[in-house]
């Protein structure tokens, strides 16, 4: 009587087993990640303009200060500021120290307003900008990363 020799594993078994384990791990990870992102997709950006001021600085530049409140259930990342459909030329600027011909803002590019908090955005329009005079209306637009668009028509002081 002859004994049967133990059956040897095929050389293709190890890669197949590794592939099955890797694919299973990838599927579990993907489903866990999708579950977390679906929770985030329910968050809503909601920012309101509380108030604003329009003044003239000592150098005859206009200074517009807009007070915002994040009343939503998610942080809001502000990305762009426009004055009458023209994007400001400098973000993260300081108050002008002379009469200028540019439009600038103290808002940092991608400035964040945490959930439930207030923020202030200052925009300076240079006295030498060109076509504006006191009493003109300008349309201020502030855009967010999530697609929120805040708009306010403001009369220059």
The predicted-structure confidence for 116-139, as pLDDT tens digits, reads as follows 999 999 999 999 987 788 999 999
CB 69 within 8 A of CB 52: no
pLDDT at 28 over 90: no
State the Cα torsion 24-29-30-31 to the nearest 10°: 90
Cα separations (Å) of 60 from 70, 99, 134, 152, 156?
A: 32, 6, 10, 22, 12
- Residue that is written with structure tokens 């925009």 in the block: 123
Average pLDDT, the chain: 87
pLDDT band at 5 (very low <50, low <70, confident <90, very high): low
Q: Residue 70 CB: number of other CB atoms within 10 A?
A: 22
Say if CB 89 and CB 104 are below 8 A apart.
yes
Rg (CA), the chain: 29
Q: Which of 104, 124, 137 is nearest to 60 (CA)?
A: 124
């Amino acid at each position: 009587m002859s004994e049967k020799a133990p059956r040897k594993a095929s050389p293709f078994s190890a890669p197949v087993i590794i592939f099955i384990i890797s694919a299973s791990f990838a599927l579990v990870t993907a489903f866990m990640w999708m579950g977390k992102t679906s929770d985030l997709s329910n968050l809503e950006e909601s920012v309101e303009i509380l108030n604003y001021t329009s003044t003239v600085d000592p150098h005859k530049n206009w200074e517009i200060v807009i007070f915002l409140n994040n009343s939503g259930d998610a942080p809001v990342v502000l990305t762009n500021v426009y004055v009458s459909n023209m994007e400001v030329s400098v973000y993260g600027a300081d108050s002008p120290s002379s009469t200028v011909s540019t439009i600038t803002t103290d808002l940092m590019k991608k400035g964040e307003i945490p959930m439930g908090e207030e923020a202030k955005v200052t925009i300076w329009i240079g006295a030498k900008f060109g076509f504006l005079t006191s009493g003109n209306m300008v349309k201020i637009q502030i855009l967010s990363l999530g697609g929120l668009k805040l708009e306010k028509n403001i009369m220059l002081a």
